[in-house]
């Protein structure tokens, strides 16, 4: 991993001066994407443009706090992270600036970008339902709302309510159904739990394999990854036991979220930052998001990797993802109010 060499050795103002001096050929990327396969994304951009990428990698919240502390002296050019809810947090903190180009507006669908260009989605992760083929009739779980149906009593497993994916899903329910209906859904889903929330998305899938869970909520790429390569606890027999449903196909569509990026408010290399965002929307980069990390491209018409294509065709929710951030505080209040851990 390349790090911004002077970052650990110099204070803010000298960092900014150095970054500005190198502006013609550098890009300072703050990224919370932790996938080794992303190396190809960065190296291809460097080869195409001659622009060197200096990377700082950490968890999204840590990067946001770092940018806050650095203020106007921040060397960050681009913040790249997962989940629209986290991009919303960064934008609310005043860390991103509006950027609009013909390329980005033409290639990134309207619902996958900030209305004023503060951030753009470059890959999609669809949050769907996975189930034990031996225990659940897929016709009984055709909607997210079905997780609260009494017939699912003792069958449902999810992540904790404070997880950003859970907050974003709840935020979409609030946007479509209103807070009262969302609260009833959360309460019903909690009452139907097979166990208290625990672990990440892969752990939910392992819960099916272990016979602990009958229906779980997970992003598609965790399952697609296990279709493509060996994942601990998800061997061939376990995978054959797991079915999946893209919910709400007759109404709102399946809940979509993104991995996305925005140009930092004080970006010393703004021109290079915009080039990087446009590169992420290119066919080559979009195909690599799918092949490298089993995600759906954000740009329509780009080919899917075999593992992603095996999941099938679905209708996506076209709710503008800004709503996932705007409703996030209310989402957490609802979970807390109904006792959802």
pLDDT digits (tens, 9 = 90+) for 295-321: 999 999 999 999 999 999 899 999 999
Average pLDDT over residues 226-230: 93
DSSP string, 266-281: T-TTHHHHHHHHHHHT
Cα 221 to the chain's mean position, in Å? 10
Residue 38: pLDDT band (50, 70, 90) is confident
Average pLDDT over residues 99-124: 97
pLDDT for 3 equals: 38
Predicted model pTM: 0.88
Do 217 and 244 touch, CB atoms closer than 8 A? Answer: no
For tokens 């990377």, the residue is 55
For tokens 């899938």, the residue is 205
Average pLDDT over residues 180-191: 98
Look over the chain and give the mean of its residue pLDDT values, rounded to a whole number.
91
Q: Which residues pair with 29 in a beta bridge?
A: 55, 78
Residue 293 has pLDDT above 90, yes or no: no
pLDDT for 146 equals: 98
Beta-carbon contacts of residue 140 (< 8 Å; ≥ 6 apart) = 146, 149, 151, 152
pLDDT for 255 equals: 97
pLDDT digits (tens, 9 = 90+) for 46-78: 999 999 999 999 999 999 999 999 999 999 999
User: Residue 100 corresponds to which tokens in the numbers above?
Assistant: 């609009």
Per-residue CA distances from 119 to 138, 171, 187, 262, 283 (Å): 36, 18, 33, 4, 19
Average pLDDT over residues 177-187: 98
Beta-carbon contacts of residue 333 (< 8 Å; ≥ 6 apart) = none
Report, in this order, helix, strand and coil percent for the chain, each rounded to 5: 50, 15, 35
Task: Give the Cα separation of 288 and 298 in Å (integer).
Answer: 12
User: Residue 206 corresponds to which tokens in the numbers above?
Assistant: 């392992």
pLDDT digits (tens, 9 = 90+) for 13-24: 333 334 443 444
CA-angle at 242, arms to 210 and 335, nearest 5° = 75
Beta-carbon contacts of residue 167 (< 8 Å; ≥ 6 apart) = 85, 161, 324, 328, 331, 332, 335
Per-residue CA distances from 194 to 20, 147, 197 (Å): 55, 12, 9
pLDDT for 74 equals: 98
Residue 164: pLDDT band (50, 70, 90) is very high
Q: Which fold has domain 12-124+258-309?
A: D-Maltodextrin-Binding Protein; domain 2 (3.40.190)
- So where are the chain's domains? 12-124+258-309, 125-254+321-337
Residue 131: pLDDT band (50, 70, 90) is very high
Residue 171 has pLDDT above 60, yes or no: yes
**Which stretches does DSSP call E strand in the chain?**
26-31, 52-57, 78-82, 120-132, 156-157, 215-219, 242-245, 255-263, 296-297
Backbone angles phi, psi at 64, to 5 degrees: -65, -45
pLDDT for 7 equals: 34
Q: Which CATH architecture fits 125-254+321-337?
A: 3-Layer(aba) Sandwich (3.40)
Average pLDDT over residues 86-106: 97
Task: Give the Cα separation of 98 and 298 in Å (integer).
Answer: 19
Helices (H) and strands (E) in the chain, counts: 15, 9
Residue 99: pLDDT band (50, 70, 90) is very high
Residue 251 has pLDDT above 60, yes or no: yes
pLDDT for 40 equals: 86
pLDDT for 123 equals: 95
Do 77 and 263 touch, CB atoms closer than 8 A? Answer: yes
For tokens 């009452």, the residue is 191
Residue 2: pLDDT band (50, 70, 90) is very low
pLDDT for 23 equals: 43
Percent of the chain with pLDDT over 70: 92
Residue 291: pLDDT band (50, 70, 90) is confident
Q: Are 12-124+258-309 and 125-254+321-337 equal in CATH topology?
A: yes
Task: Give the Cα separation of 279 and 273 in Å (integer).
Answer: 10
């Amino acid at each position: 991993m390349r790090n911004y060499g002077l970052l650990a050795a110099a204070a803010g103002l000298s960092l900014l001066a150095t970054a500005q001096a190198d502006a013609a050929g550098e890009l300072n990327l703050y990224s919370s994407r932790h996938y080794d396969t992303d190396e190809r994304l960065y190296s291809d951009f460097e080869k195409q443009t001659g622009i060197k990428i200096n990377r700082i990698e950490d968890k999204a919240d840590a990067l946001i706090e770092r940018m806050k502390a650095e203020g106007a002296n921040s060397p960050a050019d681009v913040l790249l992270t997962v989940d629209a809810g986290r991009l919303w947090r960064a934008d609310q903190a005043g860390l991103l600036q509006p950027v609009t180009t013909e390329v980005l507006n033409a290639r990134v669908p309207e619902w996958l970008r900030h209305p004023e260009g503060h951030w753009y989605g470059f890959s999609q992760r669809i949050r769907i339902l996975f189930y034990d083929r031996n225990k659940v009739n897929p016709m009984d779980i055709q909607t997210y709302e079905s997780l609260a149906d009494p017939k699912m009593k003792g069958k449902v497993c999810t992540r904790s309510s404070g997880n950003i994916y859970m907050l974003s899903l709840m935020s979409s329910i609030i946007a479509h159904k209103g807070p009262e209906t969302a609260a009833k859904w959360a309460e019903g889903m909690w009452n139907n739990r097979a166990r208290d929330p625990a672990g990440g998305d892969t752990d939910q899938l392992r819960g099916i394999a272990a016979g602990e869970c009958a229906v779980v909520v997970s992003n598609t790429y965790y399952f697609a990854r296990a279709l493509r390569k060996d994942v601990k606890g998800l061997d061939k027999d376990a995978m054959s036991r797991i079915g999946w449903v893209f919910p709400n196909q007759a109404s709102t569509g399946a809940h979509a979220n993104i991995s996305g990026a925005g140009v930092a408010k004080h970006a010393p290399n703004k021109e290079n930052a915009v080039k990087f965002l446009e590169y992420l929307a290119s066919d080559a980069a979009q195909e690599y998001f799918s092949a490298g990390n089993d995600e759906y491209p954000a740009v329509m018409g780009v080919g899917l990797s075999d593992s992603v294509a095996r999941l099938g065709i679905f209708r996506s929710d076209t709710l503008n993802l800004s709503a996932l951030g705007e409703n996030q505080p209310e989402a957490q209040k609802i979970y807390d109010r109904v006792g959802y851990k």
